[in-house]
Structures are given as C-alpha cells and as structure tokens.
Amino acid sequence: MQPRKNGLASGHLHFLLEDEPYRILGGSMHYFRVPVAYWRDRMRKMKACGINTLTTYVPWNLHEPRKGKFDFTKILDISEFLAVASEIGLWVIVRPGPYICSEWDLGGLPSWLLRDKNMKLRTTYKGFAEATEAYFDELIPKLAKYQYTRGGPIIAFQVENEYGSYAKDANYMEFIKNALVSRGIVELLVTSDNKDGLSYGSLEGVLATVNFQKIEPVLFSYLNALQGNKPVMVMEYWTGWFDYWGGDHHVLDADAMMSTISEVLNRGASINLYMFHGGTNFGFMSGALHFHEYQSDVTSYDYDAPLTESGDYTSKYFKIRELFGAYNGNPLPPVPELTLKTSYGTVQLKRCLPLWDVLHLVGQPFKSVEPVNMENLPVNGGNGQSYGYTLYETIIFGGGKFHTKGNVRDRAQVFVSSHPLGTVDYKNEELQIPEVPAYRKLSILVENCGRVNYGPMIDYQRKGIVGEVYLRDAPLRNFKIYSLEMNTTFIHSLNDVHWSELGEWKTGPVFYQGALHAGDSPMDTFIRMKGWKKGVVFINGYNLGRYWDIGPQDTLYLPGPWLWPGVNEITILEEYEAGQTVYTLDTPIFGKTQYVD
C-alpha cells in the first residue's frame, strides 16, 4: 500500500480528502454478520448503489472470547475484510468500541468481564480499563496499518459508541481517545450519539456526529452550535429497525426513507445508512432491550435494509441508487447479479436424543451450596460460560410453591424427576410443585436469551440463576450445575452416543437429527420450523440461531457456502414439543409487519 498525505479532514463546513471536498455516502455492513464468501458480493452491491464509504463495528466478545485468547480468523478476519473493501474501492469508517450496541449480546463486551463482582462497564474502573487496553493492544495495530495515510482504506475511527446516552464517567471518552491515538491512530476521530446524547457524548478535538431516523427541525442547528463550523454527518440514519421475539417485523416506508435522505443531502451533510446490509445474528449473539420489560432480539438482522439479510435487492436499494448516482462524478457500476436461492424440500428427521442422556458429554457437574451465575462458573479456563443454557439440579422433598424472586435470567424450564412443570421468566416467577412425600430431583434449565445491549440495564447482565430461588419460601441448596454452551465441539460429540428412532420421545428438551441433501452446488436456503415451538438449529455443527413460534421471524437463513455438496447434518434442540417436519424455502418469512415512524 502506498502512503498518502492528507486524509479525511473536518476543518471546514465540508469534509476534505486530499484537500478536495468529499461527501460521505456511507453504508453499514458488519463482517461478523455476513459469511466470508459473501463479503465481496455485498461490497460490490454497495459500490453499485453509489456508496463510497463502508462502516463497520468490531465485536470485542467475538475477538476475545476468553481473556487473553484472541481470534481474528475466518468470519473474524477483519484484515481480509479491509483488504476486500480496498479492492472494491470503498473507504472505511471503523467503529472499534470497545462497546458497539448494535443489538449484539452485551453491546459487544465479553461476558468474562462480569466475573468481577465490582465491574463497572464503560468506565475507567481499573478492571475495565486494563481489559480494554489489552484488547486494543491486539486489535488496533491490525487496523492501524490499513489507515488512509498508510495507503489503506480507513479514513476515520469512532471513539466508543453513543456514550452520551450512558455517560457514567467524565474521564472515559478521553481514555478511549488516548487508547486509540497512543497506538498509532492518526485518521479523523468522531463520536456518534442520538439527539439526547450529543452534549454528553462529544469530546474536545473530536468531530461529533448524530444518529436518527427522522429529522427534527433544530437538530442540525444544535449540532452546529455544539462544534461550530464543522461538517455535519449523520453517522446512523436508520433505514429500518430491528425485531424482538413476540413483536412484529419492523419496516420503514421506502418513500419516507428517501424523503429524509434527500433532506440530509440537500442540507449539504454526509450520511451513513444504518443498516445498508444487516445480515444475521448467527448463534446466540443477538442482544436484548430492557426498559419497561425484557425483550430479546430475533436471530435475523435483516433490519428492512436496502439489501436483505441474504443480499437481495429491495425497492429501497434502487431508489437510493438513483439518488446517490447523481452525487457520483462517474457512472455507477452495473448492478451485480443476485446469488441464487432454492428450496431443498422437506428435511426428514431420523432420530432423537433427550438432553438428559448427554449431560456426561460436558464433564462432571460443578457442585455448589448456592446457585452460581453462568459467568462465574469454573469452566473455559476460568472465563466462565458466555452463552447457551445452564442446568441447575438439586434434591427436594415434597412440593409447594417454587419462586425465583426474579433471579432467573432470562428464562427457565422447571422439571421434577425429568417431568416438565412449566416455565419461569421475568413475568412468571412462580410454579406449584405437586406434593409428594418423597425425595425427587428438581431440574432448572436456564437459557441466556441475550444480554441487554443498550440502556442502564447493561450493568445487570449476569445470566443463569443470579441469586436465591425458593421452595416453600426456603432457599434451595446443594446444586449440581452443568454448563451447556451448545458449541460446535459439543454438537459434534452428540454423534458419539446412542440415539433413539424418531417417535420414542415427543417432549423436550430433545435433540433431533436429519439430513439435508444439497446436491452438487449448494445454494442459499431458509429453514422453516413450522409446527415446532422453541429451540436452536445447527447445520454441520454450526449454530444458525434461535427459532420461536411466538414470532415474528419464521425462517432461519442458511447460507449456501455453509453447506457441503451432498448430505448435510441438521441438528435441532427443541425445548418443548417437536413438529413433524423441517421445511426449506427459497424466500424468507419475517412475520407480521409493523411500520415504524
């Protein structure tokens, strides 16, 4: 890469790049939500739409899943992602966090931080600051060499993310800024906040940008008053919205979207479309909101964006292309062909396996007098459990009222002698256990449904059983605790045990397995769990994400590059009651829609 002299500058009413006026026509796409095989395809579609700048977050919890153990391979190879962007001809704005929000578990922060009972996230608290420094020691040098002035595509970096909405520590933003600069970051630095957070989230010497879906008349004048004659940039113009389980699929009217984008550009401002391509919250990585009530996000991050979850064009795409084309000096490249989608018909399931029969695969249970939350379990080399399920077992005598006192996070099935009694969660905190004059095993299977990614409740995101649970108002004691992360290694190990023929087990939690025949040239498809209740789908050991019959999402995206030619193994963990058939479709079903305003 050849070094350059003058990177993106914000000293005037307009951005300058190599001392020439430059308007950012940006779009967000997150490498960790898109299969590696499709990075180039999605970027080519961005370029053909008139996008000149790509923005991406960086998820700390994926890159450092265990303290001091880093991963920048495969879907996490951000160096390769930046190299592809450079090849396609896109400039890049990197938003490295450490907190990213993004409807991502704990806003991208690793759960092992929560092992410290005094942890203060997003502050200069010693434990958080030292962990951030160690992470940036690994991450920032990988990004620094792709800076514009070193010949790379990165023209700007964001300092943290929407801190004005949190603002717990007056020294924190300066700390993050210094953490970037001291590691060789020389490109333009920006902050990003919604209207209410602008005054608290801005920082001396750093350009403030704003996030919104609808322009308020005073918003731009307020931004100008805050920082004088600086370029105005909308870092996040929300092209749609995210979905949560039990709600509707959110959509934003395309004409309303275009009206706002046009107004932003007519005012001379730069803009970044969040999202341009949303992708997927594969695995257990979707986050949650908890204001008036806890709401966990769905697996899809389609976001009603201009490019769909699977990379297809929408009417929004072509409307934006027409508008952005007028702002490009040269004709836009032709629109790339779409990747093909197909239906493989139905997947016939062949066998089943109760969860109770595979507990030995996770090793000896941890024994504790009192319940221990997921993050503080002595697993994963002292890093605790991050995702999935945790099973708590104890012996009870008799029956009576079982009560969680709000200490089950986020949702649990309760069993006595493996017989299901019901479910407890934030709204339902008690169950009646039938009276039997005998000792019996009480099992509490707790699911982490997603840690909150935004708002004050982010400070209270330990999962599992986080305090006492009670029977007849007496706290239960003497637990055996199993860590059930449902990782790829565990899913593959299921093939080492004896399965039953389908039909012998009808109620969950039960694993089911079948074969998907993909032919010689696998293509994208969508898994539909019609008739099933709630659980997780794995393809060849890889976690596609959660399904739940309360909707809105009714299909799971299965990328063609993740399929093998010929036979592919589908494994399903159904928590309640299995359906008869698994379907594959060539189009997604996102459920009942609700327009956002």
Q: Do 518 and 390 meet the contact criterion of CB atoms below 8 Å apart?
A: no
Q: Which of 64, 160, 236, 575 is catalytic?
A: 236
Q: Do 209 and 191 meet the contact criterion of CB atoms below 8 Å apart?
A: yes
Q: Do 587 and 341 meet the contact criterion of CB atoms below 8 Å apart?
A: yes
Question: Max alpha carbon distance in the chain (Å)?
Answer: 83
φ/ψ of 9, rounded to 5, equals -125, 150
Write the DSSP symbol of residue 452. Answer: B
Q: Which of 162, 187, 309, 447 is catalytic?
A: 162
Is there a catalytic annotation at residue 337? no
What's the sign of the alpha-carbon dihedral 420, 426, 427, 431? Answer: positive
Question: 289: number of CA atoms within 13 Å, CB side?
Answer: 14
What angle is formed at CA 52 by the lines to CA 49 and CA 54, rounded to 5 degrees? 95
CA-closest candidate to residue 316, choices 61, 50, 63: 50
Q: Which structure tokens are listed for 372?
A: 């221990």
Separation of alpha carbons 27 and 235, rounded Å: 9
Separation of alpha carbons 266 and 318, rounded Å: 19
The single-letter code of the amino acid at 27 is G
Is there a catalytic annotation at residue 138? no
- The partner residues of 126 in beta bridges, in order of sequence, read none
Supply the DSSP string of 126-175, one letter for each residue: HHHHHHHHHHHHHHHHHHHTTBGGGTSSEEEEE-SSSGGGT---TTHHHH
Active site residues: 162, 236
